[in-house]
Chains A and B, each alone.
Chain A
Amino acid sequence: MFKRLEENPTETVMVEIEGTSVRVPAGESVAAVALAHGLIHTRTTTISGKPRAPYCMMGVCFDCLVEIDGKPNRQACMIKVAEGMRIRRQHGAGE
């Protein structure tokens, strides 16, 4: 869906996206690296279980809620990636 304009970022970190280790540019949001990695949906909804993905990228829609390091309901577009971070899809309310 998305590709990077520039390759070879100067600073990188290793994160885990749905169990796969990925090297990503430092300073990026969790939502951006998930999209760049090709994660089509990042959560399923609480009511009907339908897939959702980041929508606004600026913290107002809350559609990008994911599980980070085992904690659910994290806003992927508002959180920066960090070394060793484990990013997973959130299923429903994440409880």
Chain B
Amino acid sequence: MKSHYPLVIIGAGPAGLAAATTASEHGIETALLDEQPAPGGQIYRNIESMPTQRAELLGSEYQRGEKLVQLMRSSNTHYFSDASVWSLNGQLELGVLHQGRAHLIHADQVIIAGGAQERPVPFPGWTLPGVMNAGAGQILLKQSGLVPSDGVVLAGSGPLLLLLAWQYLNAGVDVKAVLDVQPMSNWLRAAPYLPKALLAHHYITKGLRYKRDLKAAGVLTRHGVKDLRAIGGGHVQAVDYIHRNKLYSIKTPLLLTHFGVIPQTHLSRAASCAHEWNTAQQCWRPVNDVWGATDIKGISVAGDNAGIGGARTAEHNGRLAAFNAIHQMGHISQGERDKKAKKDLRWMKDELLIRPFLDAMFRPPSIMLTHPTDEEILCRCEEVTAGDIRKVLEEGHQTPNAVKFHTRCGMGPCQGRQCADSVAQLIAYETGTNPRDIEPYRVRPPVKPITIGQLAGMEQNSEE
């Protein structure tokens, strides 16, 4: 790894791959840093070494990643796997841990394409072993060919839930139930966006196909589920829920939940980029324009990291950010940039047709986002409950940073990744404010784990 690259791209998912390929094709010396052992991001994880049979299970959408990765591999991109970025500042200096060794590198342009994480939504029992994110289930399937052996209940909202249920069905897994927590009121919220969304109907037809197949296979599907609970002592044993005012219980050793995804903002925060609360997507995201440019010169964001748009949009985002970076570095004029980006800009316009519908349709119920019961754990690391937080709110400590100081909420190893949004939403609800007026946790490097020994051994100038 060198100590300087004109362009550094963080994350080798669809956005990072497209950005790196585009920049390299234009003769820009580009470093692509990714913390996974192989390129593809979460969506195309393990794409290069996927057994054929498993690839078929995952569907044609997954196989799209193969070409993206090939194009990056055959470009001149300097790709580094097992490279986690633990620091980024406004001077475009990056702290990188690559195969156990710490490096400090400089860039003229940085594109953050670190993707999304699943939206953490607390509910009773969500910390029990045997309760996992649906995305985790999918990672186990893609990376290791692991599927539930004794049945699974899927619960939550969002397209991934249906997709995973469908993939499991194809793999012969006993899908005990799909519990959809979307309130019926989401239909009302989404309805005004439907006519425009139908113009970009490929998303919707796909979802309907999964639903049809699940129904044909006799998978129990419940809509408008309330009061989701994971029951068990050392391990989940059952899932309780209320449907049409009646309490149900399903025995299961595994509950996979999904409540949509949110941008991973730790790096853009560490770099002091401005962030805004996005009401439609119920999460923070870096303030950025159509090129992904943030308010910090030279730093842009792309893909789900810039705001949730999904894998296809991420490719276009990545190219837009790359074209702009190439322009910023003086290699192409503004006119050339706009001309090259024409197709990608058109895609973004279409995306704006469908996204508001999806955001409204799949929004998790407010009751789960804003007012968890007192005994629910918000901070999984430090085991801080909603009740603990309400107590300090009553004492007058009414910002996430004050709550953190008084309860240790957000101070554990995950550095607030699992509680930042729920704490802000709880505070907003309890104090009658809007999350957009709340200052989130301050984020300080290192944003990824690094030992003192690794830091001390940092190499500033090393060869590739």
Contact = CB atoms under 8 A, between A and B. Distances in A.
B464 to A, nearest CB: 22
B253 interface: yes
Contact of A57 (B53, B54, B139, B234): B139
Contacts of A80: 37
A61 B135 contact: no
Given A41-B235, A78-B35, A32 B144 contact: yes
A55 B140 contact: no
Given A2-B146, A5-B147, A78-B35, A60 B417 contact: yes
A60 B418 contact: yes
Given A41-B129, A60-B117, A61-B380, A36 B146 contact: yes
The list of the 6 closest CB pairs from A to B, nearest first, reads A53-B129, A57-B136, A3-B149, A62-B413, A5-B145, A57-B139
Interface residues of A, number: 40
B136 A62 contact: no
A25 B413 CA distance: 29
A53 B130 contact: yes
Residue with the greatest number of chain A CB neighbours at <10 A, chosen from B53, B120, B146, B148: B146
A83 to B, nearest CB: 16
Interface in A23-53: 25, 27-29, 32, 35-36, 40-42, 45-48, 50-53
Contacts of A61: 120, 380, 414, 417-418
Interface string B401-442: 000000000001110011000000000000000000000000
Interface in B125-164: 127-133, 135-136, 139-141, 143-150
Contacts of A42: 129
Interface of B: 35, 37, 42, 49, 51, 53-54, 57, 117-118, 120, 127-133, 135-136, 139-141, 143-150, 171, 234-235, 253-254, 264, 380-383, 412-414, 417-418, 449
A9 to B, nearest CB: 9
B129 A40 contact: yes
A59 to B, nearest CB: 7
Contacts, number: 121
28 contacts: A1-B130, A2-B140, A3-B148, A5-B54, A5-B146, A5-B147, A27-B49, A28-B144, A36-B144, A40-B129, A46-B382, A50-B127, A51-B128, A52-B127, A53-B130, A54-B132, A54-B136, A55-B380, A56-B117, A57-B132, A58-B117, A60-B117, A61-B414, A61-B417, A62-B413, A63-B127, A73-B413, A80-B37
B140 A35 contact: yes
Nearest to B233: A51
A55 B131 contact: yes
Contacts of B414: 60-63
A59 B417 CA distance: 10
Interface of A: 1-6, 25, 27-29, 32, 35-36, 40-42, 45-48, 50-63, 65, 73, 75, 77-78, 80
B136 A4 contact: no
Contacts of B412: 46, 62
B266 to A, nearest CB: 9
Contacts of B141: 5
A58 B382 CA distance: 20
Contact of A2 (B54, B57, B120, B148): B148
A47 B383 contact: yes
Contacts of A46: 381-382, 412
Contacts of B133: 55-57
Nearest to B152: A1
